Amino acid sequence: MCTRYFLAFIICTSSLFSCTTGKKAYSPYRKYPKEALQKDYILLREALEAKHPSLYWYQDKDSIDAFFDRQYLRIGDSMTEQAFAWHIISPLLRQFHCGHTTVGLSKSYSKWAYGKTFSSFPLYLKVWNDSMAVIGNLNRKDSLMTRGTLVTGINGSRNKELIRRMFSYLPTDGFSESINYTRLSSNFPYFHRNIFGLSKTYRVNYIDSAGREKEAILPMFEIKKDSSKEKTAKQKPTKPPRKKIPRAERLTVYRSFEIDSSKQFAVMTVNTFTRGNLRTFFRRSFRTMRKKKIPSLVIDLRSNGGGHVALSTLLTRYVTRERFGVADSIYAVSKDLGRYTKYFRGGWLNNLEMWLIAARRKDGKYHVPYLEKKKFSPKKSNHYNGHVYVLTSGSTFSASSLFCNAVKGQEGIWLVGEETGGGWHGNSGIMIPQFQLPNTGIRVRFPLYRLVQYRHVPKNGSGVMPDIPVETDYRFLLERKDKKMEVARQLILQQQEKQDSVPSNP
């Protein structure tokens, strides 16, 4: 079975084939006829009902069926690709409470949009609870809405209602909305534009410096055409020389390691379990800490959206104090993609991998016995025995939530920050191919396996909860300081003071 699993992993990393699009000039403003949209919708529904492992995990079948029917009736006489994806498919996928079931626009749209800047709502906002604060302003000449200005409503909608409406378009694992606060905070103009459309002006309620609520009329952020560029448009642009960036510098996007000047702790940032030559990175980093006897380690997973389970498991082995497993159960509802194979990116390779890694059990499901049975031991070489502080946020998702579940509660290891976006009881994933709708080209990612975490907690829909909660702090926001890292630093210093105060043996 190990050989089969390893072969499947190799196949997964190989190049996958994708559907080609027509040669006609693409226009994002093209409206598709109702019949074409309905056919895409029906096909998507059939594929989800046949192959998705967790449609009815958090809502019963009758409720899901009713929402399928409701969204079908909302399909207009004609709709653009963007309107169909955002206003028909996105709210539908939200109902499954599966963070890996997401919609994306067509490949043609992505090529058209690449490098473009769009008109939008002008403010970047940090969003938490029912609060919103300005963290950026696209209208640079605006001296009113500066960083830290508290916003209380937009276009007549108060914060609570506005956030609730925007969340209804965004997926979650279970009922954990932490990842959606992160999404809105990362690019509020993008989500506001796609959900509510554009307005020439926006009525924004805010709190002024005297603590009074006021209303401002803000213009839409617009791209102004440069006439000088239009005159020279026919001239062939010369490409600037490509600057060669050292490989080590490029890899810091995915991971980094630094020992604090105090020599009391190191900070290991891991932003993904997919790239970054992580096996070598882990080995060298933990070897360095062993040789230099670093007493504490901060592992920053706040931007880690997941990746390969094997790499998440490897990091766990370096710090865990006990044997652990990946999952109590992992299964698919069918042995392959069947008649939907041609709509999936790399369809036949997905079928081959499913055949290699899964076996049918008495319950009729196709289980992955290797990950269900295998127990992993702590690393013998360069294992880290010091204090570990794991920083988490809503973006701590998928494979990184598996790591958090495995180490949570162990002696000398603490989770610091916010509830993870990835489900604590479990989530669906392992294989997450793209399903392409034939008429619009819209792509829907959905998982093929349901994973229930090792020694799972009850299914209440939460993410992995921190041992030391650290919520957004307005003062730190104003000062552009990292509160979670500061809390971890203080905990390390307190721990060191405790050790220093213990008298040594005579």
Among 110-114, 217-221, 223-227, 329-333, which is the least confidently predicted range?
223-227
Secondary structure (3-state) at 129? coil
Q: Are 360 and 477 in contact (CB under 8 A)?
A: no
Kindly tell me if the per-residue pLDDT of 249 is higher than 90.
no
Domain with CATH 2.30.42.10 in the chain: 123-222
Structure tokens at 154: 């937009």
Q: Are 98 and 447 in contact (CB under 8 A)?
A: yes
Kindly tell me if the per-residue pLDDT of 93 is higher than 70.
yes
Kindly tell me if the per-residue pLDDT of 477 is higher than 70.
yes
**Radius of gyration from C-alpha coordinates of the chain:** 25
| pLDDT value at residue 16 | 38
Kindly tell me if the per-residue pLDDT of 164 is higher than 90.
yes
If you average pLDDT over each of 13-17, 242-246, 310-314, which comes out highest? 310-314
Q: Are 387 and 296 in contact (CB under 8 A)?
A: yes
Kindly tell me if the per-residue pLDDT of 430 is higher than 90.
yes
What CATH architecture is 123-222?
Roll (2.30)
What CATH architecture is 247-432+453-499?
Alpha-Beta Complex (3.90)
The residues, ordered by sequence, that sit 6+ positions from 106 with a Cβ below 8 Å of its Cβ are 21, 81, 436, 440, 441, 442, 443
| pLDDT value at residue 70 | 97
| pLDDT value at residue 239 | 55
Query: Which band of pLDDT confidence, cut at 50, 70 and 90, is reported for residue 224?
Result: confident
| pLDDT value at residue 456 | 94
| pLDDT value at residue 218 | 96
Rounded CA-CA distance 232/15 in Å is 40
Rounded CA-CA distance 110/218 in Å is 29
Structure-model confidence comparison of residues 152 and 226, the more confident one:
152
| pLDDT value at residue 12 | 45
Among 2-16, 164-178, 237-251, 347-361, which is the least confidently predicted range?
2-16
Q: How many C-beta atoms surround the C-beta of residue 280 within 10 A? A: 10
Query: How many Cα atoms occupy the beta-carbon half-sphere of 388 within 13 Å?
Result: 28
Kindly tell me if the per-residue pLDDT of 235 is higher than 70.
no
Query: Which band of pLDDT confidence, cut at 50, 70 and 90, is reported for residue 241?
Result: low
Secondary structure (3-state) at 244? coil
| pLDDT value at residue 5 | 45
Rounded CA-CA distance 399/495 in Å is 29
Q: How far is CA 151 from CA 54, 77, 134, 216, in A?
A: 38, 37, 7, 10
Query: Which band of pLDDT confidence, cut at 50, 70 and 90, is reported for residue 240?
Result: low
Domain with CATH 3.90.226.10 in the chain: 247-432+453-499
